[in-house]
Amino acid sequence: MDHLIKDLAILLLVSLPINIVFHKIKIPSVMGFLLAGVIIGPSSLQLIQDHEKVKQLAEIGVILLLFVIGLEFSLQRMMKDLKVILGVGTLQLGLTGVLVFFIFNGSGYSVNQGLLFGLLIPLSSTAIVLKMITDRAEIDTRHGRICIGTLLFQDICVVPMMLIIPLLSQSGQLSPLDFGVATLKSITAVAAIFFLARMIVPRSLQVIARMGSKEHLTLFVILIILGTGWVSESVGLSLAMGAFIAGIIISESEYSYQIILDILPLKDYFGSIFFISVGMLLQVDIFYDSALWYLGLAGAVIGLKAFLGFLACLLLKNSFRISFIVGVRLAQVGEFSLLLASLALEKDLFLPGHYQSFLIVSILSMLAAPLLIQLSAGLSMKLHSLFGVAASDESESVEQEKLSGHVIIAGFGMVGRNLSRVLKETHTPFIVLELDGERIKQALDEGISALYGDSTHRDILLRAGIQRAKMMVFATTDYIAAEQAVRLARQLNPNIYILVRVRYAKQVDALNEAGANQVIPEEFETSIEIFSRVLHEYHIANNIIEQQVELARLEGYSMFRGLSLDIASMKKFSAYLTASLTESFHVLEGSWCHKKSIQELQWNKDSDAKLIAVVRNDELQANPAPDFRFEEGDIIVIFGRHANLDWSLHRLQSGK
């Protein structure tokens, strides 16, 4: 026990600084965990020497990691992205798996081993790709949605794969009946998940939660993990599969958010145990003996996966640029491949040498992944322009020669749709550019002129009438594509007004340099909207709110737009304006001022606030005479400083 505690403490000691450093340089910590495992493992510094203990730690890491993944698994999200999941995901997994099987089977491996590699190699790293896409604010981009949908499909397929691998370890070749039994088991497992999620677990959690103790809830969650794992192993599945099922069961309950909050702080540690232990299993001397061979093999795997991912995306009528980015970003071997490989090793389906070779190639591909993801967008642009690959569907016909002085809208998401409808209502000519076929169909159904194409391509912009357009609006969140398209649009039409929407204020500078006239960062505008609404709730006059908004924009954008404004002077002006404001008072029958004249109020004697107007029957009476009497329904408009306005409103209501 003391050795196990020591080993876990070493893992924590190693994982903490790695997490901090890799977070600062914005690279997934998975890479650091793998490298750390290689360094501290039995083949290097030997801080942890026992191979059997390393395997036990890896198994603990797998169980904990799969539980957290199951906890974050969303069936609703899966149904929402069903088309992308079943489209690119099926093609990518199918094409890669079939080709890998024939390559290994033709190289002298058995059918079962060929099938095993056909299951392992197509999977990509959800941890690495999702982390990079999130950090680059590309979740809502076309290629981001395709990558995430494909990764989700792969994660779902891991469940039946975990059932198939024990069958592959049996002597002889798998029969169709064996695959049928495996499929039936997976369907039964899914049915059990739904039954437990909908019937048993929520009620049990509700009873436990009513006891009012977080400790009871946490203990019950642990019971679900251990119980599901035990049942799963009893019916021939793995403990890891049971942990995944337990996570899904709990994720479907109404208490999942609190449970996630309790478990989430340990997520990185759960993951670090697995990835560090995988790194420790790698034997460095084997890599050193044939380093060039393994580097070449890793390059071949990356190239094969990138090409087949690109082809799968292209076959579903995505543009060349989007298909290239998706292919490159899914080119690494994933963490689930390592998980399945460890299961295959346990079932003696892998020879030790084969497992080490697969481990080395997988880790090399994962180490190359962040660099490839960072280069993918820029490289796609260069290939785009170098080979002149068309990103449009030539069957689309738009009467662009009739467009002049129009607006080009790049992107038909929420922002693009709202802008399009406003322009349509105001009879302003415009055309939409979009890469999503479903959105193009939606635009055409609404009677909107739309062109399927990539705004980063010269031919598409020319077809959209860029040289005759008055304005171009980028309503997408793809910052890399927007920067490239802004440069191209400015080159094709030096006089066009370009407005760009971005996620972060730090992206404003580069887009202005590229040629944008105005860049609107979402995070900055959201903060302005929040303080505007707060001021409205405190009845601050609209002109003062607008002045504060303008001041915030001038100050916030000055560093990006090169403005030499005297912000101190602007703040003095702001202080002067906010010192005085207007307020209105609605006269009711019970108001003290009802039926009284301005002279009777002794307004000028008792208050420095000015009574500047009265609205009666929708007619404005400015500077009313002293004998003017107030009636029910009148709206009195007064002007002054805050303290005087408060006194005046109280006086009009109560006479005090």
Q: Which residue has the higher pLDDT, 106 or 162?
A: 106
Is 492 within a domain?
Answer: yes
CA distance 441 to 452: 10
Tally of domains within the chain? 3
Residue 332: how many CB atoms within 10 A of its CB? 29
Chain centroid to CA 383? 26
Please provide the average confidence, as pLDDT, over all residues in the chain. Answer: 77
The range of the structural domain enclosing residue 411 comes to: 400-526
Span 331-348, pLDDT tens digits:
999 878 888 888 888 777
Contact 515, 486 (CB under 8 A): yes
Quick one: average pLDDT of 639-646? Answer: 76
Q: Which residue has the higher pLDDT, 113 or 7?
A: 113
Is 552 within a domain?
Answer: no
Contact 53, 8 (CB under 8 A): no
Span 164-190, pLDDT tens digits:
787 777 655 556 666 667 667 666 765
Residue 631 φ/ψ region, left for φ over 0, alpha for ψ in the -120 to 50 degree band, beta for the rest: beta
pLDDT at 327: 92
| Most confident segment among 183-187, 234-238, 252-256, 301-305 | 301-305
Q: Which residue has the higher pLDDT, 310 or 158?
A: 310
**DSSP category for residue 85:** I
Q: Which residue has the higher pLDDT, 653 or 490?
A: 490
Answer whether residue 300 shows pLDDT above 90: yes
**Strand boundaries in 55-168, DSSP class E:** none
410 and 365 within one domain: no
CA distance 164 to 143: 31
| CATH classification at residue 637 | 3.30.70.1450
Which among 330, 348, 382 is the end of a domain? 382
pLDDT at 561: 45
Is 98 within a domain?
Answer: yes
Q: Which residue has the higher pLDDT, 180 or 654?
A: 654
| Most confident segment among 102-111, 186-195, 430-439, 451-460 | 102-111
CA distance 496 to 164: 59
pLDDT at 399: 44
Residue 348 φ/ψ region, left for φ over 0, alpha for ψ in the -120 to 50 degree band, beta for the rest: left
pLDDT at 371: 84
CA distance 639 to 582: 4
pLDDT at 496: 92
| CATH classification at residue 428 | 3.40.50.720
pLDDT at 281: 76
Is 404 within a domain?
Answer: yes
Is 207 within a domain?
Answer: no
164 and 108 within one domain: yes
Quick one: average pLDDT of 262-269? Answer: 64
Which among 511, 526, 541 is the end of a domain? 526
CA distance 652 to 593: 5
84-88, 218-222, 354-358, 540-544: segment of lowest average pLDDT: 540-544
Q: Which residues pair with 640 in a beta bridge?
A: 581
Q: Which residue has the higher pLDDT, 379 or 260?
A: 379
Quick one: average pLDDT of 384-402? Answer: 47
pLDDT at 292: 92
Quick one: average pLDDT of 308-329? Answer: 87
Contact 392, 457 (CB under 8 A): yes
Residues ≥6 apart with Cβ < 8 Å to 417: none
Torsion over CA of 240, 242, 247 and 248, rounded to 10 degrees? 120
21 and 169 within one domain: yes
1-10, 300-309, 442-451, 530-539: segment of lowest average pLDDT: 1-10
Quick one: average pLDDT of 462-484? Answer: 87
354 and 304 within one domain: yes
**Best CA proximity match to 112, nearest among 361, 349, 348:** 349
585 and 516 within one domain: no
Read off the pLDDT band of 75 (50, 70, 90).
low
CA distance 560 to 506: 8
Is 560 within a domain?
Answer: no
Residues ≥6 apart with Cβ < 8 Å to 516: 486, 498, 499, 500
CA distance 333 to 350: 17
Q: What is the largest distance, in Å, between two alpha-carbon atoms of the chain?
A: 108
Answer whether residue 392 shows pLDDT above 50: no
Residue 128: how many CB atoms within 10 A of its CB? 25
71 and 7 within one domain: yes
Q: Which residues pair with 497 in a beta bridge?
A: 471
Quick one: which H or E segment has residue 647?
Answer: helix 642-654
Percent of the chain with pLDDT strictly greater than 90: 12
Tally helices (H) and strands (E) across the chain: 31, 10
Q: Which residue has the higher pLDDT, 430 or 204?
A: 430
Read off the pLDDT band of 226 (50, 70, 90).
confident
| CATH classification at residue 130 | 1.20.1530.20
32 and 102 within one domain: yes
458 and 593 within one domain: no
Quick one: average pLDDT of 79-92? Answer: 73
420 and 324 within one domain: no
Q: Which residue has the higher pLDDT, 455 or 71?
A: 455
Answer whether residue 136 shows pLDDT above 60: yes
| Most confident segment among 281-290, 468-477, 611-620 | 468-477
Answer whether residue 298 shows pLDDT above 90: yes
What does the block give as tokens for 502? 């971005």
Residues ≥6 apart with Cβ < 8 Å to 237: 162, 163, 185, 189
Which among 382, 416, 450 is the end of a domain? 382
Quick one: average pLDDT of 88-105? Answer: 90
Quick one: which H or E segment has residue 430?
Answer: strand 430-434
Is 476 within a domain?
Answer: yes
Quick one: average pLDDT of 26-31? Answer: 74
270 and 160 within one domain: yes
619 and 505 within one domain: no
271 and 164 within one domain: yes
| Most confident segment among 273-282, 385-394, 475-484 | 475-484
CA distance 613 to 534: 27
Is 606 within a domain?
Answer: yes
85-94, 486-495, 616-625, 642-651: segment of lowest average pLDDT: 642-651
Chain centroid to CA 123? 20
Span 554-579, pLDDT tens digits:
655 554 444 444 545 445 445 544 55
pLDDT at 526: 75
pLDDT at 255: 67
